[in-house]
A = this chain, B = another copy of it.
Amino acid sequence: MEKFCPLEYTLNFIKSKWVILIIRELSFGTCRFNELEKRIAGISQKVLTSNLRFLEENKLVERTVYPVVPPKVEYSLTDLGKSLKPILDQMSDWGVKNYGK
């Protein structure tokens, strides 16, 4: 049996390039699927979908479906998701400061 490692636990949520980009976009506010796809350059529909599912399962992101035609689905960060933001900000700061060293 593996010992629980909080560091590894957290890493599992943010180790994906796409996940952190999604969290950053959603930190600006609620956003529709299509809007996310446009804002995150290079992401495919499949990858966006699977990453959003993953984030939803882990309660970092909330999904709201409006039963209209055409479909409308909105995504937003939960409080738990928002609580990751300081970590991402710190990582971003480190990148700015140490790029190219």
Residue ranges of A at the interface with B (Cβ–Cβ < 8 Å): 3-11, 14-17, 20-21, 24, 41, 59, 80, 83-84, 86-88, 90-96, 98-99, 101
* Contact call B10/A95, Cβ cutoff below 8 A: yes
Copy tally for this chain in the complex stands at: 2
Partner among B11, B80, B95, B96 whose Cβ is within 8 Å of the Cβ of A91: B11
Residues of chain B with a CB closer than 8 A to A9's CB = 95, 99
Residues of chain B with a CB closer than 8 A to A94's CB = 6, 10, 83-84, 87
* Contact call A17/B6, Cβ cutoff below 8 A: no
Residues of chain B with a CB closer than 8 A to A17's CB = 8, 11
* Contact call A80/B92, Cβ cutoff below 8 A: no
